[in-house]
Amino acid sequence: MNNELKAIFTKRIIELQQRVDSIHQDFADGRNSDWAEQAAERENDEVLNALESEAKNEIQQLCNAISHIEKGNYGICQACGGSIAKQRLLVQPAAIKCIHCAD
């Protein structure tokens, strides 16, 4: 099961890194000389920055989850030592606390 999770998380990390690379390429493509177009591009840049930040955050969380899998403590609450419900891990794979301790 844990090897399957590592494979799933790794695949997602690769997808997210490709998204980040695509965003970087969009920034590298330069800007239009038309002022109106530049204004629209600046708005687009804000959206791209937010998407990049979100992707990098998810990559970090997934890397942390893989680290917990490798250490053998994935799915164990760091606060109380109990099990983290599978349903919680399906929704939030990088969860480090059970639902009771997360509040």
Q: Which residues pair with 76 in a beta bridge?
A: 83
Q: Which residues pair with 83 in a beta bridge?
A: 76
- Other Cβ atoms within 10 Å of 1 Cβ, number: 9
- The whole-number pLDDT of residue 19 equals 93
pLDDT per 10-residue tile (average), the chain, 103 residues: 89 96 79 64 80 95 94 95 93 92 88
Q: What are the angstrom distances between the C-alpha of 26 and each of 42, 51, 85?
A: 12, 13, 40
Q: How far apart are the first and last CA of the chain?
A: 28
- The whole-number pLDDT of residue 64 equals 93
pTM, two decimal places:
0.76
